[in-house]
């Protein structure tokens, strides 16, 4: 089951890098810097011009790396989802839930992670076959909200994005999330062309993840 394999990859990755950039080349450099730092989950957003080409290049580069999983973010509709999937995207992330996008992802056996902010949205997403809910923006809630959502829906798999940092990452996992999405503070140095700093910060996230999981 391809979809199950991708879901396991995302859970193993633990920290998913949300990659933005002013152009395709910058986004690819950021992604490579992050992977060099040991992070294996990349969500390349469709706010990047020619995002599908960047995804295609990254998938081609890392297809033999069993742990690396390349997905598309900021996917607003089913047409964009299909474009991303045809380019090789291995998971699809949206800032909000969209039923037609869920259907196209199910058709191609690709995990769909829609952004949800309410129990009702989460319930509708689950009905549409969604396996991981993106809690977005995480900064609007904080880790304590996870148990509040999981009380009526204990089967929820939650990935907060927005507001996750090195300082509070442990609290999110303690609250019961399956993964976290990290963007701003991880990729910020790339705006000044400092990709080595991106790699250094990625290594810090991986080290923190190992501590959380009790892995030396």
> What token pair was written down for 59?
């998938």
Cis before 39 (ω within 30):
no
Backbone angles phi, psi at 119, to 5 degrees: -60, -40
> What token pair was written down for 209?
């993840």
Catalytic residue among 3, 24, 57, 134: 134
Cβ neighbors of 178 (< 8 A, separation 6 or more) are 10, 11, 132, 157, 158, 159
174-213 burial string, b = 16+ CB within 10 Å, else e? Answer: ebebbbbbbbeebbebbeeeebebbbebbeebbebbeeee
Q: Of 88, 82, 87, 86, whose CA–CA distance to 98 is shortest?
A: 82
Note if 43 is an active site residue: yes
Catalytic residue among 3, 24, 43, 57: 43
CB 45 within 8 A of CB 210: no
Strand partners, 23: none
Note if 127 is an active site residue: no
Which amino acids are annotated catalytic?
43, 134
């Amino acid at each position: 089951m391809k979809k199950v394999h991708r879901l396991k990859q995302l859970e193993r990755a633990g920290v998913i890098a949300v990659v933005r950039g002013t152009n395709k080349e910058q986004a690819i450099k950021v992604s490579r810097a992050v992977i060099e730092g040991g992070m294996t989950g990349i969500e390349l957003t469709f706010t990047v011009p020619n995002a599908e080409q960047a995804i295609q290049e990254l998938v081609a580069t890392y297809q033999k790396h069993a742990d690396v999983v390349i997905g598309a973010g900021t996917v607003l509709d089913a047409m964009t989802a299909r474009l991303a999937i045809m380019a090789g995207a291995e998971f699809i992330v949206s800032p909000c839930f969209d039923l037609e996008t869920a259907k196209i992802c199910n058709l191609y056996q690709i995990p769909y992670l829609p952004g949800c902010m309410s129990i009702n949205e989460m319930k509708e997403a689950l009905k549409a076959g969604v396996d991981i809910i993106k809690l977005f923006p995480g900064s609007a809630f904080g880790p304590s909200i996870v148990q509040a959502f999981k009380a009526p829906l204990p089967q929820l798999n939650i990935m907060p994005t927005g507001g996750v940092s090195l300082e509070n990452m442990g609290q999110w996992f303690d609250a019961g999330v399956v993964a976290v999405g990290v963007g701003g503070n991880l990729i910020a140095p790339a705006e000044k062309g400092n990709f080595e700093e991106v790699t250094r910060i990625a290594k810090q996230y991986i080290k923190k993840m190992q501590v959380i999981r009790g892995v030396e």
